[in-house]
Each structure stands twice: as structure tokens, then as C-alpha cells.
Chains A and B, each alone.
Chain A
């Protein structure tokens, strides 16, 4: 494989942010410290720490954090010797106030995330992050749901606001390898800044998709150890490192240390199983935002409906990231329809 970029590949480990969904945002300071320390020791480049829905995400809508994310960010910064702490910010949920706080605590990079068609809500945050001296990157979520042309148009907006990279973010884990290829290629051809890729493994192609993205020149890559991320998780970081190593791509991240921390430190944090089960499979199949899974399962139990029906309906309605309240509405509607039928 030839790599279509001269820049080094930089990995962001997202298990302490995307994985926050899996543990219903109950990470403790000790857990964050232990995971961060081990990742830093293994040579990880960036470690993302925030509520699953980004800064300010601790809400009834998404789930309250057990520990204030600022406390967790501070702890992670304290554990890092070479790795940098990253944060996620979704405009409409978090604000510049939280960004400043995170920056003051030592967060060095922010991904400003919007739905794939709404890049222009990110201008003030991308700009402010640059002003704060942070690396400021754009994150176009639900990238499967729009045309390649639309994605390019929106990425260019983020570039114009000062973003130093734009990610193709496959929030639903719905993209197939050829779709990743055309998106990364188009962005590489149209942007002067770096291109990134964030996957979810709901269709079991996250590592394959990431290799395609790297081949096409993506240099900002996300992964989660043991797939500790929403739905079936993300690109499994230690697996990606091993695959890249086989391809003679050395990222300066120690494979054995990654394997060990995956087994001994991250593994015990996983409450159930991150294998692809019917719920997460439906996410990828129907193109639904991965963090809806646990909420749909809870609503399914509360209203007595199949969570898959809820997720399929949300896919049809083109629900976007953050619309967890729609899950209750859809579940209540399904119950009404059920009553009419019987």
C-alpha cells in the first residue's frame, strides 16, 4: 500500500470520551488516571477526555457524568508526560466557556463537531481555540448521510474558519470501504489542511475503513482500545497499530504495551461486551448515531418495544447526533401504533 500523504500519522485514543457512552458517563478519576498513564507510557499521541457528547454534555438528555469532566481532564493532563489531552466540543451542547476551562486545565487540542451539513455553527469555536493556542480541528459527523460534494463544501467552510484538519466522522458506523475512499480522496483533493477519519465498528469494517483512509492520505486517525466507544466501538486501536506495523508503518506507539493495557486496564472497565450484537448492528445498517444505542435499549425496556424498531424509525426520520429525546417520542409513538394494531 502506498500512502498518499507526506505528513506523519497521528492517533487520537477516544476510549475515555467515546467510551464514556458505554459506561453511561460513570468514569472515575482513578480509571481515567490509570488508562491515561498506560496510554502515555505506550506512546499514544493524543488522548481525548470529555463527556461522551463533548464538553457540557452532562445532562438528563445524554446522561449525567459521575465526575465533572473538568476534573477528569485535569487528572489526565496530570498523568501525561508526552501525550496531549484532547477534548470534543459540539456547538449547541458545549460553549466557548467550557472550551476555555478545558484549555486552562491543559487540554491542547479540540475537535469541534457538527452534523455533516451544519459546519457553519463551528466558526466561533474553531476560531476561539486557535486564539487559545490549541490545535483546532473540525469533525463532520454522520458523514455517511451526505453526498461527497456536500461533505467537501462543509469541510471547506471549517478550513476557512481556521481548522487545521477536518475529519470524516462515521458516527453511525455505516460507511463501507469504497465510500470512505471516495470521501477521503475528495477532501484530500479539495483541502490544503490535513484530513482525519473517525470510525465506528458497527459493520465490522472499522479497521479496514481506517486502512483505506490512511492509504488515501488521512493523517489524523481515531481509535478506541478494546472498541470502547459507542455502539460496537471504534477502530480497535491496538489492532490498528498491529496491522500498520505489519505494513511497516511505525507510529512510535508500542504494540505490546497497547496489548497489555487493553487486556489489563481497559478490559475490566467494559460493563458488557463490545462485540457486534443486534443493537449495534442495526446502528450501522440503518445509519443511526451510535450513542443512541443504550438510550434505545432503555426506552425499549421502559415502553415494552423492540429497541431495533426504535433505531430503524430514527434512521428513517433522519435523526442527527444529539437527538436522544426523539427516542422517547418514537418509543411512545410505537406503543400507540401497537395499541391500534391489537
Chain B
């Protein structure tokens, strides 16, 4: 079966984890891995896996514009602003794994599939957003969330230089995601890095203040949502039963990764790359259908 060709730009933790995941895709064929440091671990691994490797950043795409139809951008928010312009001009779909938030937000458990291929840039929000927005959405559906607040705690080892240099973008983009995708009237996001050794699993806490408190309905809605997220992130689970106090619901989540690149503690990498792959595959299937129609005509 034909596959849609793709490249990853950004050979850090997230890009490298995504590389291993895309090896199993039935609709996307990874062609190239693009970084800026030739001796980075990510590029070395890509070379070993037999992918084309570039260390000149977005210039690699400029020089080989017909190499791919999809670029997964796992650089940094600042770098993506630059990359996005170039990819748009070249009419290449950008799936943005940075918190640059240029294109519309996507969270696979919540967002509906893209209906057209006119969108040329989609944003994956943040790892904290991917882990918590489904829960905010689940609560909002049955209880109307007036305020949603999330705390994402990740192991220090799993936070690369891009995440660290863009921590404000992380909190701001996650907040927007809680509001725009999760449905909270008002949102707030916190991120904490924990250096404990052995490293901790990614933990997320969701606090929601609701208009219509209905404990049973909220419990059911959260349970159903966890099953939905499990379709693409197997290690996503509740740490405790949801807690209720007055008009506030507290949900404690733990995300264990698949261990594709980083060990399982880095659930934050896993949920991001799994979500991006899922969105990428949705687009790829649409592209393949369109290609087929064009061929028939």
C-alpha cells in the first residue's frame, strides 16, 4: 500500500521518540531526520535506522522540497515560527510538536478529525495539554467547567533544552488548550520538573470547578475518556479515584510511556509523540484517499 512520505525536524527527545513510533505506521513512511547537530544522539540513531539524515535544519527541506508531504516539527517554539513560514510556502503540512501554537490545536481524544486538507499547520499543544485536556473535556461535557487548572510534573531527564528554554510558552499554550479544546471558561497551567532518581513517571493533576456538580456523571465521563486515550497511549491511567470537594473535582493522572526512546518514566514524551502520530496518520489517510480519487479522474 502507498504511504505518505514524512520527515522529522528536531532530533531531540521528542523527535527521536517519534522516529521510533513512525516505524510502525501503515500510512506514513519516514524518509528523513533533520537536526542541527550532526553528532546528536537523535541523528546518530536515525542514521543507524537507515533514514536520510540532515544537520542543516529547515534548509534541508528548502533544498529538497518534494522529498516529503508532511513535516513533524519537534524543534522549539521559536524555531517553529521560522520553520512554519517556509513549510507553508512549500505547501508541506506541518505537524507542530512545539508550543508555538500557530495552527489549530489537536488533541486526538477530543478533537474531531480534520475535515479538509486546507489546514497546513496543526499544533499538538503540549505534553501537559495532551495529558489533561481530555479530562477537562470529559468533566466539561457533563458538569460545565468554569475554571480548569492543571499541574504537569515531569522528570528532569525527560525535559530537553527546547522545553526548558520555552517554559513560558508551555504554560501559556497549555492554558489556551484547556480553554479552547478542553472547554473550561478559564484555564491555568503549571509545570514542575522533578530531578528525583530513579526518575518519576509523568504525573498530572487536574482541578476543575464546575457549575453542575454530578459526581456519578463526572466519574463515568472520566472513565470513558481514559479508555479513549488508552487507544493511543496504553500507559495513561488514574492514580486515585476522582476526588470531590464542594464544586471542585480533583483528578490525579499518571502516564507511563511505551519506552520507544526514553524509558517508560517519560510518559510526557510518549503522549506527545503518540498523539502527533495519530493526527499525522489521520491526515495521511485523507491525502491517500485524495490521491486515489485524482488518479481515477
Contact = CB atoms under 8 A, between A and B. Distances in A.
A121 interface: yes
A29 interface: no
A120 B164 CA distance: 7
Contact of A124 (B168, B194, B209, B239): B168
A60 interface: yes
A93 B172 CA distance: 10
Nearest to A58: B188
Given A61-B151, A121-B167, A115 B193 contact: yes
Nearest to A317: B196
A92 interface: yes
Given A120-B164, A325-B205, A328-B250, A59 B190 contact: yes
A329 B239 CA distance: 8
A322 B172 contact: no
A328 B243 contact: yes
Contacts of A60: 147, 149, 207, 209, 248
A329 B194 CA distance: 16
Given A59-B149, A95-B172, A325-B151, A118 B165 contact: no
Given A121-B193, A317-B196, A95 B252 contact: no
A318 interface: yes
A32 interface: no
Nearest to A332: B240
Interface in A81-104: 91-93, 95-97
Interface residues of A, number: 29
B137 to A, nearest CB: 18
A61 B195 contact: no
A332 B165 CA distance: 35
A60 to B, nearest CB: 4
B164 A121 contact: yes
Interface string A48-83: 000000000001110000000000000000000000
9 contacts: A60-B207, A61-B205, A92-B190, A92-B193, A97-B168, A124-B166, A318-B195, A325-B153, A325-B205
Interface of B: 147, 149, 151, 153, 156, 161, 164-168, 170-172, 188, 190-197, 200, 203, 205, 207, 209, 239-240, 243, 245, 248, 250, 252
Interface of A: 59-61, 91-93, 95-97, 115, 117-118, 120-121, 123-125, 302, 317-320, 322-323, 325-326, 328-329, 332
